[in-house]
Structures are given as C-alpha cells and as structure tokens.
Structure 1
Amino acid sequence: MADEEILLRVLRGRVKTVKVALSVVKKKVYQKNREETLMASKDSGALDVPPGDFTIPPSSFGPGGDLSALYTRLQRTSRVPSSTSEYVNFFNKFIHHIVSCIPHKHLNFQMYSRDVWPRLTARTRKRKNQYVDFESQLVINFVKAMYEKANKEVRTSFYFDVFYMITVALTNFRVEASQRTVSSAESDASMALSFFDYSQE
C-alpha cells in the first residue's frame, strides 16, 4: 500500500511537471504568434498606395468604394505612424472606415450600409447565413501589393496575419457599434421619460 502511494505521488508530480512545461510552451507560441501578427500591421499608414484596382463593388449590402482613395484620405488626415501601436491603430482605423465612414462629396467611403454593420464578419470560407462576409481578400491583396511596392518582406504567414488583424478590427468595431446603440437607446428612453414626467405636471 505504501509503495502504491509513493508511486501515485511520483505520477502526480510528473503530471504537474508536464502541465507546467505545456503552459510555458503555450505562452511562447502565443508570444510568437502575437509578434508575427503585429508584423502584418507594420508600416500601415507609412507606405504609399500600390497601383491597381482595389475597389469593393456595389452590392445589396452597400455602395462599395475605393480602398486606395480611402487609404490616401486617412494618410492625409493622420500623423505618419512610427511605432507598432500606431501602425496597429492606423490599420484598425482603416478597417473601421471601410465599414462605416460617412459618404464624401467626391468619393463614396461608406462601403457597407448601417443595417449590415452588426452582421459583418471575416471568414475563410463563405457560408449562407445571417452574417455578411467582409471583403477580406481584397484588403489582404491591397496590403500585400503595398508591401511589394515598397520591397517589404512578405512572409508565408502574411495572409493569416492580415486576416487575423481584420477579424480583430471587425470585432472591435462591432463592440463599439453595439455600445453606441445601447447608449443611444438609453438616451432616447431618458428623453421619453423626461417628456412623460413633464406632461404629467
């Protein structure tokens, strides 16, 4: 019996050691993936627009628009990024503006109608359901062409890195949009309640 207890303790110790080792490996993999993902946004806002047609075509989801024109407009109205966080912020801003930027008098930048915003998603394979597929491939092609024009390295993981950045930006946008909707609804309810109280006086 004593031998069995000793063996059990030894086995538990080994299991614990394996768990710790796996945890360390997971952290290293996460850090590596995070660093590679941030590479996808490197120089966003600092590189010139590439040649070619990068237009989201009009559809039932919105009027579409020109990515090159939008990117150029953002460059002109933003400070030139010079750090990783600024590159990421510019990339997120670029994605957010693709979705929701208000129409311009010369160029139409509102590429998706407002009712589509909560259902926009980035997927590697299109499916027929309530969600609307974001034009991820066109954005990836645009970023890749921009890198190639600047003679920047395009890694084998480039597609997945940029795709991940797009999914993160879209998720952030949906969260912000839902928060604005809730705030607006609360404001409308407050105004209605105030009017009701006033009418009862």
Structure 2
Amino acid sequence: MVDHNTEKRNGLNFARLLVEVEMRAQLPDEVKFKNEKAKVIEQPMQYDWKPTLCRFCKKYRHVEEEWRVKRKVQNPDQVPRMERLVGDHTKQRQYTTNLENYYNIRIWLTWRHNYYQVNPISKTTQQITCEVMFLPLQIAFEISYVYVFNSREDRKELWESLLIQSRRCSKPWMVLGCFNSILKANDRIGGNHESWSEIVDFNECVTNCGLLEFPTQGNRYT
C-alpha cells in the first residue's frame, strides 16, 4: 500500500518513499525498476528499523541466537514410593515420619538401629514423640521432635500436645526442633520486634511442661 502523496508524487522533497508492508513480509535488499529511458535500475534498500523474527518459534522481539529451548516438564503418573526415594541411605538405619498425620511429610526421623531402639508413641502434624533406648549404655529417655506451624493459632495444637506428653512422661524428656517462635526478645536479631502476645504461648508451654532451655556454647544467631 502506497500513501496518496507518494502515489501522486506530490511534496517529494527528498528521495524517500513511504510503503506499508505486512509484518511477516520478507523485506528485500534491493528493488529493480525501469527509469524514464526504459533502463532497468537496481536500487539497494536501506531500513531505519526492521522487525526481528525468530525462525524457530516464529515470534518477534528476539532472534534465534537468543531463543531458549523450553524443557519438557516431567509429570510422573505415580509418585515414587518412599522406599525408592530413601534407597541405600537407610540400609543401616530405620525411620519414621508423620505422613499419616499430614499430607506433606513435615518430620522425617531416622536412626541407626544398632545404637538406638526407638518406639514412636505420639504423632501429630507438628511433632513426633518417641521412647528411646540408647543400646550401648542401656539409657532410656523420651524425645519429641517438633516442626511448628507459622501462625499463632496453628501452634496452639502443639503446645497442648506437649503439655499432655509432660504429664504422662516418667523418663528424662527432650524437645528438639524448629519452634518458629522465641522465648525472649534477644533470641532474635533484626526484623520486626516481637510483641509479648506473639511469644507468650511458647513461654507458658515451657513453664507448664517444666522444661528448661538447654545451655549452648559458641556464637549466637548461627
């Protein structure tokens, strides 16, 4: 398509023509035409800008050198069984999880069966409590592994289950894991300041269960 002024040759003060073409049209490097003496002239073409088209994906704004192959996403029809995932890593170990309490395993506990005899006695979405016998020294104790939810309301279930465990436990008892909460303001550095309402539940649980914070050595906040 040629504009009206170009077609009528009106107002042409410089040797430039305006021609509209389709985006997908291949732009020529030269054009041939006959002049007024019927002589064929080859005129090289210059473009201020040409659209870039990728010859692989047939889309604009990038060339084939920048084209990335999109990898095929693997969607297995069947989720591999846990035994296959564990493989040889548990030949000398036994394990237990809280899979039956939560659709996505949050706690996975393993131990060497020639050193420890472990009997899980309580499982919830946020904890696994076990009776343990350290075989070389015949020392018996109980231990709770926790991985706590983020919201205060969801954490209440764990505090209640730990309180029940403290009342029935007659052996030495440890509680280990990620509590997603702190006991004191200086237990965390940086970020927003914790309000008392956010840490009061954890403090009450520790007090009511008769727990003591285990002393540590070395650098804090590591």
Range class of TM-score, shorter chain: under 0.3
Write 1 or 2 for the structure with the bigger share of helix.
1
Q: What TM-score does the superposition give when structure 2 sets the normalisation length?
A: 0.23
Q: What TM-score does the superposition give when structure 1 sets the normalisation length?
A: 0.25
Write 1 or 2 for the structure with the bigger share of strand.
2
Larger Rg: 2
